[in-house]
Amino acid sequence: MVGDMEGHLTVGRVAGLAGVSVRTLHHYDEIGLVEPSARTAAGYRAYSAGDVERLREVLGYRRLGFGLREIAALVDDPAVDAVAHLRRLRGLLREQRDRAAAMVAAIDKELEARAMGIRATPEDQLKMFGAQLYESIGSAYPATRRTEPRIAARIWEALGDARTVLNVGAGTGSYEPADREVTAVEPSAVMRAQRPAGAARCVAASAERLPFPDRSFDAAMAVSTVHHWPDPVAGLREMRRVARRVVVFTYDASTPGWLERFWLTRDYLPEFAGLLTDWPSPADMARAIGGRAEPVPIPWDCADGFFEAHWRRPEAYLDEHVRRAVSVWTRVGTRAEQRAVDNLRDDLSSGRWAERNGDLLALDEAELGLRLLVA
């Protein structure tokens, strides 16, 4: 359609100003990411101020390393206006700058040490990449990850009468109780940037080094995060140090035969086992903080899309959005993921999945190894 050209920029001009190719802009148009609202009389794409604003957001997120699909979800979110995008981009860029500065400092330190014939420990070498996984996958998280009320009720009950609560590995803030004074800790800038407006104050730090004095909170909680910590026991001890009570929602991979417990790992993704080698058992973790581990069944219609959540809704695992919000799928690698999804799709259409797992359809909840540690 030929529109009113006043205030519009041609595709060539936009490409020149933004430092991208015309082909890139054509591609963004073709996939519906940035569709110019008009055409010149000669049929060239023409961009309005609104189109340019959207393009600027897209390019900003692109430079930060977000994928095009993730960017589409971010810029299409009607709850986020241009100012909120600018604030988020600014925050992410500052984090990136700080992280780059920290990496330069760590590299300088290692170069100095090497010059003196000292080799950095493997732990020190890895520290500079801490929380990197969620920097790359975190933006897909809010699509399916949210508070499951029945699990939240268990966590909040375990917090007892705590008035001040520290939420470690807080992500986007699921499970933070609204009726208590919450402080969040989250190392990933991408996750911090996605916390909703009005969410609890969030500090950039890791579980293993909590920047708080001893006993500064009534309780500390950690939900679906301990398996990401480089040193879970050190992190749990830190929680124990800063709080009177500790509540942790985690997974038990120590009971013999655990791989068989869930059809997804048993029949489609045995690679999951490789992710949990050296993983302390909930009993070991509970011992480290002096507490107990209780089983938490997963309701069939669980609202939080963690790895096991769709045990009675197998088709959900065919959905890319469901998988991208769960780190397991990224960690096993694309080949294992693709094979698992292809095999599951085949078994669902041939009826083989139903043959093997049909009895699950009669259950309202399942015990798949989730545990609540309370100390």
Ligand X SMILES: C[S@@+](CC[C@H](N)C(=O)[O-])C[C@H]1O[C@@H](n2cnc3c(N)ncnc32)[C@H](O)[C@@H]1O
Q: Give the footprint of ligand X on this chain (CB under 6 A).
A: 131, 134, 145, 168-171, 174-175, 186-188, 191, 206-208, 223-225, 228-229, 235
Nearest Cα neighbor of 303 from 320, 285, 325, 282 is: 325
Beta carbon of residue 115, minimum distance to ligand X (angstroms, whole number): 30
- Distance set, CA 61 to CA 28, 190, 348, 367, 369 (Å): 14, 11, 37, 40, 37
Beta carbon of residue 171, minimum distance to ligand X (angstroms, whole number): 3
Nearest Cα neighbor of 356 from 257, 260, 263, 262 is: 263
Residues 6 or more apart whose CB falls under 8 angstroms from that of 59 comprise 18, 20
Beta carbon of residue 253, minimum distance to ligand X (angstroms, whole number): 16
Residue identified by tokens 């950095």 is 120
Beta carbon of residue 372, minimum distance to ligand X (angstroms, whole number): 13
User: Which of residues 224 and 265 has its CB atom nearest to ligand X in the complex?
Assistant: 224
User: Which of residues 10 and 174 has its CB atom nearest to ligand X in the complex?
Assistant: 174
- Alpha carbons within 13 angstroms on the beta-carbon side of residue 364 total 1
E-only strand ranges, the chain: 9-10, 38-39, 45-47, 164-168, 181-185, 201-203, 217-223, 243-251, 292-295, 298-299, 365-366, 370-374
User: Which of residues 54 and 195 has its CB atom nearest to ligand X in the complex?
Assistant: 195
Beta carbon of residue 230, minimum distance to ligand X (angstroms, whole number): 6
Residue identified by tokens 């960017």 is 71
User: Which of residues 10 and 194 has its CB atom nearest to ligand X in the complex?
Assistant: 194
User: Which of residues 10 and 225 has its CB atom nearest to ligand X in the complex?
Assistant: 225
CA 14 to the chain's CA centroid: 34
The two structure tokens encoding residue 81: 């206006």
Centre a 10 Å sphere on the Cβ of residue 19 and count the other Cβ atoms it contains.
8
Which residue number has the CB closest to ligand X? 171
User: Which of residues 208 and 218 has its CB atom nearest to ligand X in the complex?
Assistant: 208
Beta carbon of residue 42, minimum distance to ligand X (angstroms, whole number): 49
